[in-house]
């Protein structure tokens, strides 16, 4: 069932993108004196 | 050129141009949804600006996707009318469902995505973006269900009274293994395209030292999403190989330049120069057993070679000739049980009989040369497939490396990313398009001589138009599309150069009064 | 549900989709066709474009869906009409190309020439299809020269120029004017001040002209266009036998359905009434009434054409026995059933979210709003 694999895969890829961005925001982008808002 | 060549050329041209825009839409839609999700969760307006700016580029691309998409739907009827009649009962359904289920949603929401920012709450707008992304993917789903059926027509049967294929099982058509693998492979390729696009342009800003916070964040999102997608394209491409080994043996043999069946497990030709005359591959560099593993998932099964497949085609063409003759007799009024029974026995090869109509109008009395010619033409040319497949794979692997490196540096929070990486990303910009076009070429050219695999030959599928009519339409389409693509690329470059300054928020570099006025 | 019922339902559904197309995409085509007529400045033209900017794309999907549904439900009709009217269809296609890019790219460059070119592109891209669809219907009513060979390949024997005959051109003009009028009634609803006043004035005149042309076309059809009737018995529940019937061409045959069921006269009558009410409502500034009556009128015009030809959808003038009817040019029972279920689920959903998108974007637009949001609007 590759359709099912797609549903899981796309959720995973999007979550990966979101979590990576959130994690970087949380840790703070290095080299930025003031945080972007 | 005759109407068959011209119709094929027109279809190939319109489809190839259409597919310059589709993969970017598929990938960007999810990237926009990711960016906006981060905006809603963190409340940082830079993510809203990212959604809006990349959304502008998405819009420039989307407009041409819609424009060239209309041509695709019209063309089955205008240039492939026998095809439309012969398989419309099955092929038309997924196209109609695509419009009803996906394209309506996508097109309605794209309006709200662009114009609804001030009229919808944050959460509602986010929901619109996600649904838009979902709808673009559902569009792709139904189109690839239709295309999968062309490659591997199941769930249908020939009806001699109506002289066409008719649907017997819609669930077989939907869950067609070829359609499934194709869909996931194609949409993942779209995600990679979107990710490379954002990564390359962000890298350009980083190289120029412009809009750094904006570029870093775009880079991070694109690298994570891209890495996951590139992995899945490659895994699913491999799965496509397995499906081909199962149901499209001719295409597989041509792609791999398997001239003859070799003892299992088959070797994989990494590189070589296919030679049609001698039916061998010169200078071949082979890895033992790998093709056998990809195509059969075993070390004991053989991968059929072209010469062995042609022998089978010869048998099927001879039986198909009989089927064609019986079909003609039946339609002329001979409805005796003997005719019907014999026809039902050989009807599975009717398509192979139809191949003969390319060489003679009198199929019943086709000569041995006609049949030999039909057998010869029953497989596609090897070298175009062999090469385009390898180009696609090389691009794919290169992008995987790019994303792995980009993600590594993004996750390590490297402040100044290495310039080689940024340049690598920038110069990778054309790669996903080359890979996508090469991939579609393999899929569609590899299906020849069939319009519908083993059912309807391409040369029969065309409309009976005049050569002048098609020259006119082809000429006009080439001129118009060329103009459109030039305008699109020019606008795209202009807005990519302007960057987030084009939003006129007053927060970004380059927003001097002069540049503000320009946009 | 049997095959016969499904075939009839699909005749209705194709009608619904065509009506959905002319009623929704009709007004945005009308607005775009009026850009250079009603818009006197860039700001005014931007107001006009932005009244339809969030919606034209969704509206156009009615056309795509009608094409897809034709493919799925009447594959032979789709094949015959699209390849038979090849040059006309290609011209429509080229015109339609201009719309998505026209809307999207027009405001992207701040230059008078650039904008003016796209204004013309949008005008042509909207007016040409409106004209050609009418011409196509005008030709369907007169029969189209085609026949099928022994393996049911279609051969069209006419020429593009033959499509441009007087009756078809009249139908084309009606189609164009009613769509332009529809656009004007939409502008009455969505604009303010002078633009609104100009739209009202235009609608009063156009709606009356449409009513006159519609009646005139009816009289012409009765007096000078021969109709078709099936003289053999079609097995409405059996497999398509597209080429095995006998068909008679005779004067006044297109009016036989009205003779059989006189109540059907209500349809064209409502069409004429719709145009008249639209003119009156535009005159008295009842904008909602004007828009609804214009929608009603164009829906009735489409229905009138369909009912007059019923059960024919594409008669053959050269080989009448090969004419396509809604009984013998359909998809298989299985496909019709599946597509019927799909339509039952999705058409209401589509109507719901389309209505929601209009609700979200409700209200009138003015030039001040355009200037305030210059960089985010079209």
Selected residue of B49, B85, B334 to mutate for chain C interface (largest C Cβ count, 10 A): B85
Judge: A12–B188 Cβ closer than 8 Å, yes or no: no
Quote the CA–CA distance of C40 and B178 in Å, as a whole number.
55
Same domain, B235 and B324: no
Residues B24-38: what's their mean pLDDT? 96
Within-domain flag for B259: no
Same domain, B86 and B205: yes
Domain boundary among B376, B406, B422: B376
DSSP string, B146-159: HHHHHHS--SEEEE
Q: Which residue has the tokens 């109507």?
A: C351
Q: Which residue of B has its CA nearest to C240?
A: B162
User: Per the structure, how many domains does chain B have?
Assistant: 2
- Work out the mean pLDDT of chain C and round it to a whole number: 94
* Peptide linkage before C311 cis (omega within 30 of 0): yes
Asked whether residue B485 carries a pLDDT value surpassing 70, the answer given is yes
Quote the CA–CA distance of C100 and C56 in Å, as a whole number.
9
* Start-to-end C-alpha separation, chain C: 48
Residues C46-65: what's their mean pLDDT? 94
Domain boundary among B359, B376, B393: B376
Same domain, B337 and B415: no
Same domain, B95 and B138: yes
Same domain, B340 and B395: no
Within-domain flag for B126: yes
The answer for residues whose C-beta is within 8 angstroms of residue B483's C-beta and 6 or more apart is none
Q: Which residue in the set B44, B410, B415 is minimally distant from A31, CB to CB?
A: B415
| pLDDT of res. B415 | 75
Phi and psi, residue C112, nearest 5°: -65, -45
Quote the CA–CA distance of B50 and B59 in Å, as a whole number.
14
Same domain, B130 and B221: yes
Chain B residues whose beta carbon lies within 8 Å of the beta carbon of residue A36: 44, 46, 213-214, 217
B456, B354 Cβ separation under 8 angstroms:
yes
Model pTM above 0.90: yes
Same domain, B112 and B159: yes
C156 DSSP β-pair partners: C146
Same domain, B181 and B152: yes
Chain B residues whose beta carbon lies within 8 Å of the beta carbon of residue C338: 93, 167, 170
| pLDDT of res. B512 | 61
Q: Do you know the residue count of chain A? A: 37
Judge: C346–B495 Cβ closer than 8 Å, yes or no: no
C129, C96 Cβ separation under 8 angstroms:
yes
Q: Which residue in the set C54, C70, C153 is minimally distant from B464, CB to CB?
A: C153
Q: What is the pLDDT of residues B248-304, one digit of tens each?
A: 888 888 888 888 888 878 888 888 888 888 888 888 788 887 887 777 777 778 888
C344 Cα distance to chain centroid = 22
Residues of chain C above pLDDT 70, percent:
100
Quote the CA–CA distance of B170 and C338 in Å, as a whole number.
8
Within-domain flag for B282: no
Identify the chains in contact with B, defined as 3+ C-beta pairs within 8 A. Answer: A, C
Judge: C64–B472 Cβ closer than 8 Å, yes or no: no
Q: Which residue has the tokens 């592109």?
A: C121
Quote the CA–CA distance of B460 and B439 in Å, as a whole number.
25
**Which has the closest alpha carbon to B415: A33, C3, C250?**
A33
Same domain, B7 and B129: yes
The token pair at A33 is 């004196």
The token pair at B483 is 């103009």
The answer for residues whose C-beta is within 8 angstroms of residue B479's C-beta and 6 or more apart is none
The token pair at C313 is 């959808």
Same domain, B48 and B14: yes
Asked whether residue C105 carries a pLDDT value surpassing 60, the answer given is yes
C52, C366 Cβ separation under 8 angstroms:
no
Within-domain flag for B253: no
Within-domain flag for B210: yes
Largest CA distance in chain A: 49
Task: Give B344 to chain C, closest Cα distance, Å.
Answer: 18
Asked whether residue B149 carries a pLDDT value surpassing 90, the answer given is yes
Quote the CA–CA distance of B252 and B222 in Å, as a whole number.
33
Q: ipTM of the predicted structure? A: 0.93
The yes-or-no reply on B/C contact (3 CB pairs or more, < 8 Å) is: yes
Pure H helices in B428-466: 431-445, 458-461
Domain boundary among B355, B376, B397: B376
Task: Give A14 to chain B, closest Cα distance, Å.
Answer: 6
Same domain, B150 and B244: yes
Within-domain flag for B511: no
Range of the domain at B324: 306-376
Quote the CA–CA distance of B518 and B513 in Å, as a whole number.
9
Q: What is the pLDDT of residues C148-174, one digit of tens each?
A: 998 899 999 988 899 999 999 999 999
Q: Which residue in the set B71, B81, B328 is minimally distant from C93, CB to CB?
A: B71
Same domain, B215 and B348: no
Print pLDDT tens along chain A (37 aa).
788 888 888 998 999 999 999 988 888 775 565 555 5
Quote the CA–CA distance of C378 and C367 in Å, as a whole number.
13
C307, C292 Cβ separation under 8 angstroms:
no
Within-domain flag for B312: yes
Q: Do you know the residue count of chain C? A: 378
Q: What is the pLDDT of residues B78-125, one digit of tens each?
A: 999 999 999 999 999 999 999 999 999 999 999 999 999 999 999 999
Quote the CA–CA distance of C346 and C337 in Å, as a whole number.
14
Window B:235-294, CB contacts with A under 8 Å: 236, 239
B193, B24 Cβ separation under 8 angstroms:
yes
The token pair at B244 is 């081909």
Within-domain flag for B468: yes
């Amino acid at each position: 069932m590759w359709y099912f694999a797609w549903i899981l895969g796309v959720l995973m890829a999007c979550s990966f993108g979101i979590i990576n961005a959130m994690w970087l925001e949380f840790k703070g982008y290095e080299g930025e004196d003031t945080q972007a808002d | 050129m005759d109407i068959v060549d011209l119709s094929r050329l027109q279809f190939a041209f319109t489809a190839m141009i259409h597919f310059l825009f589709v993969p970017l839409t598929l990938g960007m839609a999810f990237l926009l949804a990711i960016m906006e999700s981060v905006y809603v969760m963190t409340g940082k307006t830079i993510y809203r600006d990212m959604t809006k700016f990349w959304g502008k580029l998405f819009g420039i691309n989307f407009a041409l996707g819609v424009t060239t998409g209309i041509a695709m739907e019209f063309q089955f009827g205008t240039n492939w009318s026998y095809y439309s009649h012969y398989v419309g009962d099955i092929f038309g359904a997924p196209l109609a469902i695509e419009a009803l289920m996906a394209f309506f949603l996508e097109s309605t929401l794209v309006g709200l995505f662009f114009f609804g920012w001030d009229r919808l709450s944050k959460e509602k707008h986010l929901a619109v973006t996600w649904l838009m992304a979902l709808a673009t993917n559902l569009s792709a789903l139904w189109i690839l269900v239709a295309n999968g059926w062309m490659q591997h027509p199941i769930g249908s049967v020939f009806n001699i009274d109506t002289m066409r294929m008719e649907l017997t099982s819609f669930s077989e058509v939907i869950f067609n293994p070829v359609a499934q693998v194709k869909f996931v492979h194609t949409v993942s390729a779209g995600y990679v395209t979107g990710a490379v696009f954002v990564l390359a342009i962000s890298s350009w800003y980083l190289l120029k030292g412009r809009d750094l916070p904006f570029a870093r964040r775009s880079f991070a999102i694109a690298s994570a999403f891209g890495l996951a997608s590139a992995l899945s394209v490659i895994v699913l491409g491999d799965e496509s190989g397995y499906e081909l080994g199962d149901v499209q043996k001719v295409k597989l043999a041509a792609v791999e330049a398997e001239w003859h069946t070799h003892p299992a497990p088959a070797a994989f030709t990494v590189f070589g120069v296919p030679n049609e005359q001698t039916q061998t591959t010169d200078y071949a560099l082979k890895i033992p057993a790998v093709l056998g593993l990809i195509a059969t998932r075993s070390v004991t099964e053989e991968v059929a070679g072209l010469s062995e497949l042609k022998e089978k085609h010869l048998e099927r063409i001879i039986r198909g000739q009989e089927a064609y003759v019986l079909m003609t007799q039946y339609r002329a009024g001979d409805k005796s049980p003997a005719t019907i029974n014999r026809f039902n026995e050989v009807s599975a090869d009717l398509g192979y009989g139809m191949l003969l109509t390319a060489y003679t109008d009198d199929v019943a009395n086709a000569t041995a040369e006609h049949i030999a010619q039909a057998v010869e033409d029953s497989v596609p040319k090897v070298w175009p497939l062999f090469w385009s497949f390898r180009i696609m794979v090389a691009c794919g692997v290169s992008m995987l490396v790019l994303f792995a490196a980009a993600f590594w540096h993004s996750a390590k929070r490297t402040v100044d990313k290495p310039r080689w990486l940024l340049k690598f990303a920038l110069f990778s910009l054309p790669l996903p398009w080359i890979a996508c076009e090469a991939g579609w070429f393999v899929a569609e050219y590899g299906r020849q001589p069939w319009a519908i695999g083993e059912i309807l030959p391409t040369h029969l599928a065309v409309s009976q138009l005049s050569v002048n009519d098609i020259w006119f339409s082809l000429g006009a389409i080439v001129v118009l599309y060329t103009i459109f693509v030039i305008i699109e690329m020019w606008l795209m470059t202009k807005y990519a150069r302007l960057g987030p300054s084009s939003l006129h928020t007053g927060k970004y570099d380059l927003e001097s009064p002069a540049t503000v006025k320009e946009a | 549900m049997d095959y016969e019922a499904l075939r009839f339902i699909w005749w209705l559904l194709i009608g619904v989709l065509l009506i959905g197309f002319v009623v929704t995409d009709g007004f945005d085509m009308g607005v775009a066709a009026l850009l250079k007529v009603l818009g006197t400045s860039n700001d005014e033209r931007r107001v006009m474009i932005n009244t339809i900017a969030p919606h034209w794309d969704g509206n156009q999907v009615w056309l795509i869906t009608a094409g897809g549904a034709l493919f799925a439900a009447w594959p032979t009709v789709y094949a015959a009409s699209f390849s038979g009217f090849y040059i006309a269809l290609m011209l429509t296609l080229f015109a339609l190309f201009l719309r998505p890019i026209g809307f999207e790219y027009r405001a992207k460059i701040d230059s008078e020439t650039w904008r003016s070119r796209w204004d013309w592109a949008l005008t042509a891209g909207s007016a040409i299809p409106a004209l050609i669809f009418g011409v196509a219907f005008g030709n369907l009513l007169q029969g189209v020269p085609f026949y099928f060979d022994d393996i049911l390949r279609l051969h069209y024997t006419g020429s593009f120029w033959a499509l441009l005959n007087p009756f078809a051109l009249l139908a084309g003009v009606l189609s164009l004017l009613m769509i332009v009028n529809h656009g004007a009634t939409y502008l009455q609803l969505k604009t303010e001040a002078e633009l609104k006043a100009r739209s009202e004035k235009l609608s009063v005149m156009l709606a009356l002209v449409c009513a006159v042309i519609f009646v005139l076309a009816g009289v012409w059809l009765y007096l000078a266009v021969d109709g078709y009737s099936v003289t053999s018995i079609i097995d409405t529940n059996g497999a398509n036998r597209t080429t095995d019937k006998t068909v008679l061409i005779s004067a006044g045959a297109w009016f036989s359905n009205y003779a059989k069921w006189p109540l059907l006269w209500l349809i064209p009558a409502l069409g004429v009434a719709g145009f008249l009410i639209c003119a009156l409502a535009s005159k008295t500034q009842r904008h909602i009434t004007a828009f609804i009556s214009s929608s009603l009128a164009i829906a009735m015009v489409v229905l009138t054409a369909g009912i007059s030809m019923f059960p024919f959808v594409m008669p053959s003038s050269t080989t009448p026995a090969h004419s396509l009817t809604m009984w013998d040019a359909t998809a298989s029972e299985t496909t019709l059933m599946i597509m019927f279920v799909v339509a039952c689920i999705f058409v209401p959903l589509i109507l719901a979210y389309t209505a929601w998108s209009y609700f979200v974007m409700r209200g009138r637009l003015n030039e001040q709003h355009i200037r305030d949001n210059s960089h985010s609007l079209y």
